[in-house]
Amino acid sequence: MGTTFDRGEQAFAGINYPSRAEAVVHDLVVEGQLPADLNGAYYRLGPDPAHPPTYQGVLPIMDGDGMMVMFHFREGQVDFRSRYVQTERYQLEHTANRALYGPYRNPFFDDPSVQGTDRGEANTTARMHAGILWALKEDALGISIEPLTLRTLGVHDFDGHVTSKTMTAHPKLDPRTGEMIFYGAAAKGETTPDIAFYIADRDGKITTQEWFQAPYASMVHDFAVTEKWIIFPVMPCVSNLERLRQGGSIYDWEPERGMYLGIMPRDGSAADVRWAHSDARWFYHVMNAYDDGDVIRLDVAEAAIQPFPWFHVDPAKTWNQRDAEGHLTRWTINPRTGSLSTQQLLDYSSEFPRLDERFELGTYRHGYLLVNDPAKPEVTGYNSVGHYDHHTGALTKVWAGEHISFEEPQFVPRSADAPEGDGYLLAIRHHADTMLSDLIVIDTADFAAGPIAVVALPFRLRPGTHGTWVDEGDLVPKT
Ligand SMILES: [Fe+2]
């Protein structure tokens, strides 16, 4: 009997229907002109369920096996490759030819044959550090992927030096020191309030490990790092073990708990973490953070509530569309007093903020993000990609057509020493009318002109989450 994902789920509607295509396409069709100086690989990871889930209830759109895709640009040609991350979970289900795991991040309803195995889906972020191409999701440790073949090399725990059960999908890479700074939330297991903090040096060796407990157990999806400080945002998307045992959502929105910012000096220890309490706020993603005199500037896509309705136990009471929309917002934090003030930078609904990563953790001018332009037709996802100039406050939007949605953009510098923001912006798009996907290249020298090249895929990808660019010279591990 063949398989089907038709169970009336929003998570599988339209362009979100699983693609599951592991493919190699040589020399993709290109419309327009690819820049000759764009040489390297764009990797992107996303959830793409290999098997129809067997559990009932609302399916979180981020519940699915990690699918890594690679667009390899070389001398005006693009080759494509996609491959599932071969997690233990993926391999066990593939062998059984059916779903074996229960609801999202709920180990209590798994098939007895997989009890105690690694439930990690490795489906959120692709990022490269110290020669390792990471497939990351916050529910488990990270997976190492072979960059040219996308072959899975396995769980990477830094030779046993990372004992957290989890690793964030949003590590920060410091371009000045070469360090990767990261943490695991629910570090001692689902719903535990423990946070493990790590720094790996430019060679991938762990130099710092600190453990502490948050004021309550919650989803800690992203965090902020500056040259001097680390900020751990504990926002009231609260996890609960008893609810999990009963088959309920791992998370609920509990704004009455308020928000805590855990503030730690970058060269400090767990004993130095101070928790600053304030009213409930939410963000999934940080554009950037930096020190500005005595304060920290932290730019986030802030929403009034955690935006996914399936992480609200009673969405009729705590969820509404308007509050779920993110807006680019600047937080100013005094790390010594814990005071917080905020300023909304954009009226548009906006998410997936990025920057020129050579300027990560420092002062910067150019931001890139997805925006929903209300003057254009609604799509599943975001209908426009934008450039935000922090110096002028100007937003430049590119809209592509009435059935087209964008994935998170990726900035690529024109050269290693090009000025900040001088280069190309890549973004995967999905066409709800033709059910095909492509990738556009914008030259940031004239952002408003839109794509200079469109790289067409002969099939549709399921929309993914976060990606990264790796220069051609860094694709082969250095010996
Ligand atoms: Fe994310």
Distance 36 CA to ligand 1 centre (A): 31
Closest CA to 428 of 386, 373, 397, 385: 385
Say how many Å lie between the CA of residue 193 and the centre of ligand 1.
Answer: 20
What separation in Å is there between the alpha carbon of 65 and the centre of ligand 1? 16
Distance between Cα 207 and ligand 1 center (Å): 25
Distance, CA 427 to ligand 1 centroid (Å)? Answer: 16
pLDDT in tens, the chain (479 residues): 678 888 777 889 999 999 999 999 999 999 999 999 999 999 999 999 999 998 887 889 999 999 999 999 999 999 999 999 999 999 999 999 999 999 999 999 999 999 999 999 999 999 999 999 999 999 999 999 999 999 999 999 999 999 999 999 999 999 999 999 999 999 999 999 999 999 999 999 999 999 999 999 999 999 999 999 999 999 999 999 999 999 999 999 999 999 999 999 999 999 999 999 999 999 999 999 999 999 999 999 999 999 999 999 999 999 999 999 999 999 999 999 999 999 999 999 999 999 999 999 999 999 999 999 999 999 999 999 999 999 999 999 999 899 999 999 999 999 999 999 999 999 999 999 999 999 999 999 999 999 999 999 999 999 999 999 999 999 975 55
Q: Which residue in 152, 147, 122 sits closest to 132, CA to CA?
A: 147
Nearest-5° Cα angle at 275, 272 to 277? 165
- Span from the CA of 466 to the centroid of ligand 1 (angstroms): 7
Rounded CA separation 435/403 (Å): 10
What lies within 8 Å, CB to CB, of 112 at 6+ separation is: none
Cα–Cα dist 68/197, whole Å: 26
Distance CA 314, CA 80 (A): 42
CA 430 / ligand 1 centre spacing (Å): 19
Cα of 222 vs centre of ligand 1, distance in Å, is 7
CA of 467 to the centre of ligand 1 (A): 10
CA of residue 70 to ligand 1 center, whole Å:
19
Helix (H, G, I), strand (E, B) or coil at 51: coil
Distance 139 CA to ligand 1 centre (A): 12
CA 33 to ligand 1 center in whole angstroms: 31
What's the 85 CA to ligand 1 centre distance in angstroms?
Answer: 18
Short-list 444, 377, 453, CA closest to 412:
444
Token digits for 399?
A: 């809209």
Distance CA 317, CA 314 (A): 6
DSSP letter at 448? Answer: G
Residue 462 and residue 17 in contact, taking contact as beta carbons nearer than 8 Å:
yes
CA 94 to the chain's CA centroid? 25
Cβ atoms 344, 276 nearer than 8 A:
no
